[in-house]
A and B are shown apart, each in its own frame.
Chain A
Amino acid sequence: MSITEIIFWGLSVLALFCAIMVVASKSPVHSILYLIGVFFAISGHYILMNAQFLAIVNIIVYAGAIMVLFLFVVMLMNLNADAEPKKNRYLQFAGLISGGCLFLVLVAAVTRSADAGRVMQLGTGESGLIKNLGRILFNEYVIPFEISSVLFLSAMIGAVVIGKKN
């Protein structure tokens, strides 16, 4: 077993454990902290695949900005006391069963595929470096890039308008 596979399995176990704890933990603050763990594990996968730009952007945008926003909202609303009422056990069980069925169907469909055994390029390759991505982003994708700035502006205005007291 090579070092790449050991890192892959370690990061995968970390990501899955944290993802299950996001769903299972009672307190919303604990869920947010476990979700940050998932994002760091996924960033580790990006570094393993030599997609360095996406790894850094994932940490900065998701773990740094979005999760802090979630944490602010949870702490401002004082949801720490788990006020979630007692749930219907049958509905929870049905949700678990349907999610498991989706997992089984997708895995069965993938393992039948002829391309499932294709080998990936791990740890090498120039495609994820900032130099290449920046050149392509500002040559071919400059129009979507500008449109996304308009999207951000409208999202900012929308958040302010929705959150305003009236």
Chain B
Amino acid sequence: MEIKWYIGLAVALFCTGVVGVLTRRNSIIIFMCIELMLNAVNLLLVAFSKMHAASPVAQALPNVASDAQLFVFFIMVVAAAEVSVGLAIIVMMYRNIHSVDINFLNRLKN
């Protein structure tokens, strides 16, 4: 399998997330689209690590493919922390203005 198919898949998932962020107004769905973009980037990083594992560089440096996968692992760790804080902010916003529509937030005041 060539790397271009995985790049195409990751770009398609990322652009679907971008379209979701631009078109939807429900803040929870916007947050989910951000998660979708994050996962597309993770998929691309793992695909590149497997591309490097097949290259001659991997014979000299055996850890070069595992490093990329640990990077993806740390991205997942940070994403979990980010989601907990982000959902807390959305719950707080719903408690104050009784809506999750982001158009009510365009002034960031009252």
Contacts and interface: CB of A to CB of B under 8 A. Distances in A.
Interface of A: 4-5, 8, 12, 15-16, 19-20, 22-23, 28, 31-32, 35, 38-39, 42, 45-46, 49-51, 53-54, 57-58, 61-62, 65-66, 69-70, 73-74, 76-77, 79, 83-85, 87, 91-92, 94-96, 98-100, 102-103, 106-107, 110-111, 115-122, 125, 127-128, 132-133, 136-137, 140-141, 144, 148, 151-152, 154-156, 158-159, 162-163
Contact of B28 (A49, A51, A74): A74
Which of A15, A116, A136, A141: most chain B Cβ within 10 A?
A15
Contacts of B3: 115-120
Contacts of A96: 19, 22-23
Tell me if B's interface is mostly helix, strand, loop or mixed: helix
Question: What are the 10 tightest A-B residue pairs by CB atom distance, in nearest-first order?
Answer: A95-B22, A127-B65, A99-B19, A155-B81, A23-B20, A121-B54, A95-B23, A103-B15, A159-B88, A162-B88
12 contacts: A12-B9, A15-B9, A31-B32, A46-B46, A49-B47, A95-B23, A106-B11, A118-B51, A118-B54, A120-B1, A127-B53, A158-B85
B91 to A, nearest CB: 6
Size class of the B contact interface (CB-based, 8 Å):
35 or more
A138 to B, nearest CB: 11
Given A46-B46, A127-B53, A28 B76 contact: no
A108 to B, nearest CB: 11
Interface in B39-95: 39, 42-43, 46-47, 49-51, 53-55, 58, 63, 65-67, 69-70, 72-74, 76-85, 87-92, 94
Nearest to B84: A159
Given A144-B74, A151-B78, A79 B4 contact: no
A89 to B, nearest CB: 10
A144 B87 CA distance: 25
A116 B7 contact: yes
A120 B73 CA distance: 21
Contacts of B58: 127
Contacts of B14: 106
B46 to A, nearest CB: 5
